[in-house]
Structure 1
Amino acid sequence: MEAVVERTKRYENYKNSGVEWLGEIPEHWEVRRIKYLFNEINERSENGSEDLLSVSQYTGVTNKTDKVEDGGMLTNALTLEGYKKVQKGDLVSNIMLAWNGSLGFSPFDGITSPAYSIYRLYDGNVKRYFHYLLRTELYKAEYKRNSSGVIESRLRLYTDDFFNILSILPPLEEQTAIAEFLDDKTTKIDQAIAIKQQQITLLKERKQILIHKAVTRGLDDTVALKDSGVEWIGEIPEGWEAKALKYFCFITKLTGFEYTNVWKTDSEGQIIALRGFNIQSGELDLSETEAISEKLSNSLQRTKLYKNDIVYPCTGTIGNAALIKEDNKFHINQNIARICLQSKEMFPEYFLKSLLSYATKSQIDFNNSSQMQPVILIGSLRNIKISFPPLLEQKKISDYIETASQKFETAICLKQQEISTLKEYKGSLINSVVTGKVKVC
């Protein structure tokens, strides 16, 4: 990578910055407190008619107004009157999330929440240089050290604390050169990342096409076909059937009464209570879980999970599904469906793959009962239809999909690793250049 070349270019002379966490800087650079570089702005909107802006660690400052679809809500606030005004080029900081990089220079005029801080860079400095400097991991760590609060979720970086942080200050012409260099290099890196993300999307689409074809046409391209009678499934092989889930599955979820009056989480519980985000496409994500007692789980037998049950989110991430592979370990939480196979003529792994196919997801999307958060009602889920062959063929198809999917997953994993490497390189390059470890002019 070009970074190898860039890292070999260093300034002739360095000096101790006098700041432990900054280390050495080029001899002719300065260190100043942020209060001598920025001025806090506290101008308020008179009527709240300006565009509402937001800031995140990933995208910087964005125009929230442009991203809200018809009927959506910009904010829960009753009025935007009194919100802080932002001019194009102002630094916007979310005082509650500055520690994770939620700050940036605004490319828009607009307004932001009163909980944000607005700063304006004094003349004689380059905004793009400070855009890169103030979003480095080096400075995020300093925001965290200077924030008030006991736990991470309660940290606040107030103006006095932000202003007290020391900033590296190169000469103006070098600020300009550094900003231009990083604009060019980061654009190229972002383009490379975007290409790899597109490749991942294509691989996922190809995987879905393979699954769809296998669970609606089988593995024999020469077999005679018949009309399934289901628009989203189309033609299926002779000897296959297309049936609604209600004819071979028991489908249920917690009632409102059970969740409100009986349900109780238990930090020392033995049974994992699965929530929507725990259910991914074909697998469980148990990185964050909550639990209930075994006694409570046993008292709610209808929603207790057993081996070969399938869990299916009814809100939010509808379309995902996962197979339960052991008894007495899991229970469904609110808004999760338990799908229990009641036919020995259905192979669980084949059934899971059918639920994850385009044919099923198209039916789910059609039956989505909400204009906001996606929702599938239990009654609608019971009427979803899938196609299936005799049991032995189901097993062959399932094995085929498993083998082919693994090849796709390996390729996807490789692309994801390449993206991670590029992101790490980008962060390292920015840090090296803005702190003077690498000379670019």
Structure 2
Amino acid sequence: MNTFPKYETYKNSGIEWLGKIPDSWELTKLGTCLTLVSKKNRADLPLLSITREQGVIERDIEDAESNHNFIPDDLSGYKVLEQGQFGMNKMKAWQGSYGVSKHTGIVSPAYFVFDFAKVIDPIFFNWAIRSKLYVSYFGSASDGVRIGQWDLSKSRMKAIPFLLPSPEEQTAIAHFLDQKTAQIDAAIVIKEQQIALLKERKQILIQQAVTQGLDPTVPMKDSGVEWIEEIPAHWEMKKVKHLFRMIMESSEKNNNHELLSVYTDIGVKPRRELEERGNKASTTDGYWFVKKGDIVVNKLLAWMGAIGLSEYDGVTSPAYDILRPKVEMNGYFYHFLFRSDFCSSELKRHSRGIMDMRLRLYFDKFGLVEVPYPSATEQNKIIDFLNINLIKMDEGIDLIKQQIEKLREYKTTLINSAVTGKIRVTNNAVDVSI
């Protein structure tokens, strides 16, 4: 922010979270900026939604996943929200579910709709009111017994302070933030694409290693399994039930064993972190014992990657299957194999259920899946290779994620600084790259 010019003189706003503001800016209140309106009986207009992430958007009534709220047959009581007006979901204002609309349509009768009572650039207002500073402030103007059911107090909302630069400065700030945030967002998209490419390379590396080995010169043979294709000629194909046996060993009452869970993104981990957040199992009596080296299968989500090798002794839910090796192996070889994208598709095919989120992988089907079985010595070499190379890729992914986080932090700081006058935006600033 030090590269941007500042205003010549500042004054104390008297408000801690605003601090000093430009001398020429007006410190007013939302109540003097907005006028509540309520226009109805326009059921012919499209339905709009007011979201935390995007503000006001057109609602896709065909998308069942994004339409959790009931839509009545009679929409005559819905409020008209016109392009350029400010709309707000008063039950979720503390989350940032409000914004200036780019569309004309109708919203829930429980929402607030406002016209501007002063000369205000709608785009500037949208940037300012949706900044992190204001989103956090709306929480103090909301009441409720439970945080998910807070309701915005109209009187306290009207008292929220708002900064107004001159109309010319408002427009300059709006144009500046439009351009700068677009540049930042474009940079983030590029970095997210880089992460996707690295993750794709990881999957290719894993697939080649666990199905073809490390020596590209060895003779190959048909595995006899379509999703595996060819394997080294000296490898075997074995059914999962010939490699693992299912263990059902119940824990004793009042035990203090480590409670384990299986996650799609990180595999088998202790649930301590979840318990610290209040998501604690009421009891672990009758849970299955898990030994280090067991494969733990979340039957409901195995086809999404919720399967993996346990590095811990502990207990886990009886909803999981515990698989223990029957033959000599490096368990990490099958950890990587079972969690790979190409294997997940096969596990989904063997899962039973009506809908994707209700599919379950039972051992009677999983046990019939044929997988490669190289010698334990070769498995060890493959795992050493994967550990070295995957660590490098993960470090690269983590570095890019840190860069993305810094860009997002910069974007937040830039918006906050521009709409509170901590930096001075001029017409020349709009053309300066980030």
**Smaller-chain TM-score range?**
0.7 to 0.9
Q: Percent identity?
A: 34
Partner of 1:261: none
Superposed CA deviations along residues 13-57 of structure 1, whole A, max 9, x for unmatched, are 22222333222211111111112212234444665873342402x
Aligned counterparts of 1:339 and 1:419: Cα–Cα separation in 2:
38
- Aligned positions of 1:67-82 closer than 5 A: 68=63, 74-77=67-70, 79=72, 81=75, 82=77
Question: Is 1:361 the equivalent of 2:356?
Answer: no
- Residue 327 of structure 1 aligns with which residue? 313
Question: Contact 2:191–2:400 (CA<8 Å) still a contact in 1?
Answer: yes
Indicate if the aligned counterparts of 1:132 and 1:434 stay in contact, CA closer than 8 A.
Answer: yes
Greater than 6 Å deviation, 4+ residue runs? none
CA 45–68 in structure 1, closer or farther in 2 if over 3 Å, else same: farther
The answer as to whether partners of 2:259 and 2:270 remain within 8 angstroms in 1 is no
- Which of 357, 367, 375 in structure 1 is aligned with 2:359? 375
Aligned to 1:119: 114
Give unpaired runs (5+ residues) of structure 1.
Answer: 259-265
Correspondence for 2:185: 190
CA contact (8 A) 2:347 2:361 kept: no
Aligned runs of 1:408-423 on 2, under 5 Å? 408-423=393-408
SS in structure 2 of the partner of residue 5 of structure 1: coil
Aligned to 2:24: 28
Q: What is the Cα deviation at residue 218 of structure 1? A: 0.5
Q: Using the alignment, how far apart are the partners of 1:11 and 1:61 within structure 2? A: 33
Match of 1:427 in 2: 412
Cα gap change, 1:427 to 1:24, in 2 (>3 Å): same
Shift of 1:127: 1.4
Quickly say closer, same or farther: Cα 1:96–1:275, change in 2 above 3 A.
farther
Q: Distance in 2 between matches of 1:128 and 1:253?
A: 61
In structure 1, distance between residues paired with 2:44 and 2:297: 42
One-letter code aligned to 2:202? K
2:33 maps to which residue? 37
Segment of structure 1 superposing worse, 362-371 or 347-356 = 362-371
8 Å contact from structure 1 (residues 242, 387) kept in 2:
yes
Report Cα offsets for 1:125-182 as digits up to 9, x if no partner: 1111111111222212311222213554443323332222111111111110000011
- Label 1:85 to 1:20 Cα distance change in 2 as closer, same or farther (>3 A): same
The AA in structure 2 aligned to 1:321 is I
Aligned partners of 1:66, 1:53: CA distance in 2, in Å? 10
2:307 and 2:55 map into 1 onto residues whose CA distance is 34
The question of whether the paired residues in 2 share the 8 Å contact of 1:305 and 1:332 is answered with no
Q: Distance in 2 between matches of 1:39 and 1:194?
A: 38
Give the secondary structure class of the aligned counterpart of 2:99.
strand
Q: Report deviation, 1:12.
A: 1.4
- Equivalent-residue separation in structure 2 for 1:185 and 1:43 (angstroms): 36
Q: Once the 2 structures are TM-superposed, how far is the Cα of residue 297 of structure 1 from its aligned partner?
A: 3.3
Alignment of 1:158 with 2:153, yes or no, is yes
Cα separation, 2, equivalents of 1:61 and 1:355: 42
CA–CA distance in structure 1, aligned partners of residues 141 and 345 of structure 2: 50
* 1:57-96 pair list within 5 angstroms: 58-65=53-60, 68=63, 74-77=67-70, 79=72, 81=75, 82-96=77-91
Q: Which amino acid aligns with 2:239?
A: A
1:10 to 2:6 alignment: yes
State how far apart, in whole Å, the 2-side matches of 1:118 and 1:273 are.
49
Query: Match of 2:331?
Result: 348
**Compared CA separation, residues 306 and 60, structure 1 to 2 (3 A):** farther
Aligned position for 2:430: none
Q: Please say if 1:50 is aligned against 2:46.
A: yes
TM-score normalized with structure 2 length: 0.85
Assess if the C-alpha contact under 8 Å between 2:247 and 2:324 holds in 1: no
Q: What is the CA–CA distance in structure 1 between the aligned matches of 2:103 and 2:247, rounded to whole Å?
A: 49
Matched letter for residue 424 of structure 1: E
3-state SS of the aligned residue for 1:297?
A: coil
Q: 1:299 aligns with which of 282, 286, 292?
A: 286
1:215 alignment counterpart: 210
Q: 1:187 and 1:220, CA in 2 relative to 1: closer, same or farther beyond 3 A?
A: same
Q: Contact conserved, 1:39 with 1:119, CA < 8 A, in 2?
A: yes
- TM-score (normalizing by structure 1): 0.84
Per-residue deviation, 1:279: 4.4
How large is the RMSD of aligned CA atoms in angstroms? 3.1
Change (3 A) 1:74 1:154: closer
